[in-house]
Amino acid sequence: MSEEHSRTEERRGAGTDGNETEPAGDPRDPIPPADELHQPPPADDEPLAEEPPTPPARVPPVVVPRWVQLVALPLGVLALWSLARAAGSVLLLFIVAGVIALILNPLVSLLQGRVRLPRGLAVATVFIAFFGSVVGFGVLVATPVSDQVSKLRQDVPEFIDSANESLASVQSWLDDRGVDLQVKDPGESALETLQGNLVRGSGDVVSFTGDVLQRLVRGTFALVLIIVVTIYMLLHGQRIGALVRALMPAGDGTPEDDYPTRAQKAVFGYVRGQVLFSLLMGLGAGVSLWIFGAVGIFPDGKTYALFFGAFLALMEFIPYVGPVLGATPPILVALFQDPLTAVWVALLFVALQQIEGHIVAPLVFGHSLRINPLLVIFALLVGAELYGIVGALVALPVAAIMRETAIYLRHHLVLEPWGTPAPAAVLAGRSPPPATATRRCPECETEAELSDAFCRSCGAPLSLRSGASP
């Protein structure tokens, strides 16, 4: 006892000699290491450990009642079609302006964000650059293409005469060998029909290229309206986006689930990819045909290289049949000269199609938006039927918006099922379970009453197979 008493007194003395007080707590607690004793206190502004981002809350979808499905949706489709037929050029004007605004708005936002230009100055810069590029491209390409097409129309009779001479030689060779086969008369008839089609087709191309320039000159009022409406849409894009968000089902607040953002990305990505893809393929075809003409394989390939390349680039907008249509004019022209030349030209386009499918398309598009080919063909036909060539050109961006709208509504709308089946207990002749009994939603695992047809949390339809719990 005396030894313990002396040790206790020594510890007390050690605590009072240096005017230090014994720290609170159990004296048997271990002493922390020296590096912890001399560690400075944490600063107030020291960032804490980053927590994982909270996933966005799931927004319950909007349930579409049965009467809307039966009455409002069909009437809405008919109303849109009637509006498109009645409004005519006015609706086309706003569609063209809207498509241009969706294409240019990402560039305006880029200048506004990185260069920190005011919104108005950014719109003016992008708009002037865009229309300057369009006018420059038209001046540099449209006029030479029209000249080459006009020359092709003048050379068609010469091609037909050369083909008739070849048919006469083949017929003479067959007659000398006693082969009873007539190729001259049917061939001449086919060539005459083909000549008429070529003249009409080349005339359509000339009228198309000239029609675009003439519309820009003659339709000054419509062009001014398109410019004004496009500038207004670019300047007030945020207000227009807020209006569209108010009309569409609400998203979860992220850019990936924001309808205006998704529609803009769809139009910009598709138009950028498709235009670049068509330009690359048209340039490749034109350069290849020019080389064929320079080395003597296809002499007229050098003469009409620009027209053939531009025609293929335009046809590349049409899936599946577009490349075949684009390769037809040079193969026919080569066939008039020499069948072997036509074979070489056909092999050239086969090689270009292989490069297109295995190299160019994956590099240009990658994992970006690709519209279903059937939807593209349908949109082109509808656009051409409503507004002609201009309607066919703007149909592809509109198809991209339609696709993105369908995907967005599919995630945010739930169609109310037609007829709710009776509970299994009633079908069996027993009393239904009490209303307090619940079952789990198969989508979000939320408790729901047996009398509920839809989940109150996510809006998913509830089936009788969902497990019930008392």
pLDDT, residue 191, reads: 62
Return the H-helix or E-strand segment holding 64.
strand 62-64
pLDDT, residue 350, reads: 93
pLDDT, residue 25, reads: 45
- Residue-range domain boundaries for the chain: 88-157+178-235, 437-470
pLDDT, residue 283, reads: 93
The Cα–Cα gap between 19 and 167 comes to: 124
AA identity, residue 367:
H
Alpha helices by DSSP H, listed for 18-72, are 34-37, 66-67
In DSSP terms, 454 is beta-bridged to 461
The Cα–Cα gap between 225 and 240 comes to: 18
Q: Exposed, middle or buried by CB within 10 Å (0-12, 13-18, 19+), for 7? A: exposed
CB 277 within 8 A of CB 316: yes
Alpha helices by DSSP H, listed for 316-413, are 321-337, 339-355, 361-365, 373-412
* Interior/surface letters 433-463, b for 16+ CB within 10 angstroms, e for the rest: beeeebbbbeeeeeebebeeebbeebbbbbe
pLDDT, residue 267, reads: 86
| Average pLDDT per 10 consecutive residues for the chain, totaling 470 residues | 50 45 47 49 48 60 74 82 77 87 88 86 90 82 79 75 71 71 64 62 52 55 84 87 85 80 85 87 93 90 89 84 88 83 92 88 69 80 80 84 86 72 44 56 69 64 53
Task: For helices 89-110 and 73-87, give the axis angle rounded to 10 degrees.
Answer: 100
In DSSP terms, 202 is beta-bridged to none
* Interior/surface letters 219-238, b for 16+ CB within 10 angstroms, e for the rest: eeebbebbeebbbebbbebe
pLDDT, residue 37, reads: 45
Pair type for strands 62-64 and 413-415: parallel
pLDDT, residue 316, reads: 86
Backbone phi and psi for residue 53, each to the nearest 5 degrees, phi listed first:
-60, 140
pLDDT, residue 58, reads: 65
pTM: 0.61
- The shares of helix, strand and coil residues in the chain, as percent rounded to the nearest 5, are 70, 5, 25
